[in-house]
Amino acid sequence: MKKFLILQLILAALFVLPGHGNCDPLDDLMQQFGKEYEADKPPSPYSSVNSDYKLSRTALSSLYTTKTLALLYRQNQQLLDKYNEMILKYDRVIDQNNQIIELLSVIARKGESEKAGVGVFNR
């Protein structure tokens, strides 16, 4: 039980420490998990600690699941930030289009009033 608690504390400390591979792309993260998972050798058939092997594999899987979820969350946040930025740019384009429409309407009204005024003086 003490080993499991110590293992949990070590895994929690590794996850909390900044710059400890939390920014790996997902492919690199999965390759690293595969290497560590395969490096974990099963105990001999005569060993009485088969449960430690299973717990270490479970802890390793839990660690990489957490890392993967954290990576996906950060990527999702970056994507949302980019979408929000794009929405602000579209709003700006819409405002500019409305201003252009207003200016063209003013120019059209001014042109119509000049044509009407010129027509009066030509009679």
CA pseudo-torsion sign 56, 57, 59, 64: positive
Query: Which tens digits make up the pLDDT trace of 11-70?
Result: 666 665 555 444 457 788 888 888 887 777 766 666 666 667 777 788 888 888 888 888
| Full-model pTM | 0.51
Kindly indicate the confidence band of residue 82, based on its pLDDT and cuts at 50, 70 and 90. Answer: very high
Kindly indicate the confidence band of residue 123, based on its pLDDT and cuts at 50, 70 and 90. Answer: very low
Structure tokens, 29: 């993260």
Structure tokens, 114: 């000049």
Q: Which residues contact 86 (CB under 8 A, 6 or more apart)?
A: none
Burial class (CB in 10 A: 0-12, 13-18, 19+), 18: exposed
Kindly indicate the confidence band of residue 115, based on its pLDDT and cuts at 50, 70 and 90. Answer: confident
Q: What pLDDT, on a 0 to 100 scale, did the predictor assign at position 116? A: 73
